[in-house]
Structure 1
Amino acid sequence: MAAARRGRGSASGAMVVILCLAALLMEAVPAATAGKTYYVGDAAGWGRNLDWWLAGKTFYAGDVLVFKYDKEKHDVTVVGGKGYRRCKVPKNKNTVVMHSGYDQVTLRRGNNYFICGMPGHCDNGMKLAVKAL
């Protein structure tokens, strides 16, 4: 009979250890669905030279960037690394160009690149590179 009790005690002890480990892991890993919302450029909105705005922020896949701007003067174009570095809007049908003045983009894991596609704007610093974990 002592052996039977020991067996049940071991199983419940192992279960407690497993539950504690699961709780610790849930706190250590950021939730993929948490999705924090960021307003690009804060009150100033989508504009030039936004490195100051990026400073100190950690972005995760699922976070949302909100681009606020004058839709008569600017846009938000999603580009790859080459388009970002060269300030060139790709000439293909899959290029995403937004121009509502209040665009929301959900970040994907890795590098996310955005430029203003209006002539000269990106070359003058209206671009943003965000790495999401």
Structure 2
Amino acid sequence: MDRSGRIFAILLVLGVVLQSAVATTYVVGDSFGWAVPNNSSTYSDWVSGKTFMVGDILTFNFVTDEHDVLEVTKESYEGCKSTNNISSLITTGPANVNLSSTGEHYYICTVGRHCQNSQKLSLNVSASSTSSPSPSSGPTSQTTPPPPSSSGSFVFANVFVSVLSIVLCILV
């Protein structure tokens, strides 16, 4: 195999490895965002077909003082109660929540009757292929601005271009 063939093979392998290590950012509700939905299945429909992994990030897009986000137990989720919370109340939007543990996660909006009107989210988080399962201590919440949409792809592209540049500098 000539030199350019070896470079291509190395970059292909690096690309596959790096792609598997990149977390995915999900914008809750996609373009609808985190708001009171028109029907009770909006957020369960949004979750359907998605695989959430430890290390992924949920971005809750909402207007500060109109909505909030609170992770709660299953019982509090089902009863729309802000008791038995797992994380601190997030009141500033948009907000990112890092999924740092496996298992079921439950989120509600505590403003008015928003939760009773189906502004609540339930999802299951699986262990990532690049990390071992974490204890069920709940996710770490942040109120930083959301990353660009498709940030997993964006991060992967940046890492790939950086690695490509380094490899080319070494080999050329």
**Normalising by structure 1, what TM-score?**
0.70
1:69 aligned partner? 62
Give runs of aligned pairs for residues 46-125 of structure 1, distance below 5 A.
46-47=34-35, 48=37, 49-90=42-83, 95-107=87-99, 108-125=101-118
Is 1:38 equivalent to 2:30 in the alignment?
no
1:97-133 Cα offsets, whole Å, 9 max, x none, are: 0011111111121111100011211011000011011
1:36-73 Cα offsets, whole Å, 9 max, x none, are: 10000111111233122112111111110000011121
Change in CA separation of 1:95 and 1:55 when aligned onto 2, cut-off 3 Å? closer
State percent identity of aligned pairs. Answer: 35
Q: CA RMSD in A?
A: 2.3
State how far apart, in whole Å, the 2-side matches of 1:91 and 1:50 are: 22
Q: Secondary structure at the match of 2:53?
A: coil
Change in CA separation of 1:91 and 1:110 when aligned onto 2, cut-off 3 Å? closer
**Normalising by structure 2, what TM-score?**
0.55
Gaps of 5+ in 1: 1-26
Structure 1 outlier segments of 4+, above 3 Å: none
State how far apart, in whole Å, the 1-side matches of 2:82 and 2:65 are: 18
Work out which of the residue numbers 122, 125, 136 in structure 2 matches 1:132.
Answer: 125
State how far apart, in whole Å, the 2-side matches of 1:126 and 1:91 are: 18
Q: Secondary structure at the match of 2:45?
A: helix
State how far apart, in whole Å, the 1-side matches of 2:106 and 2:88 are: 11
Matching residue's letter, 1:85:
E
Deviation at residue 95 of structure 1 after TM alignment: 4.5
State how far apart, in whole Å, the 2-side matches of 1:67 and 1:125 are: 15
* Range with greater deviation from structure 2 (41-50 or 102-111): 41-50
* Higher-strand-fraction structure: 1
Matching residue's letter, 1:123:
Q
Gaps of 5+ in 2: 1-16, 127-172
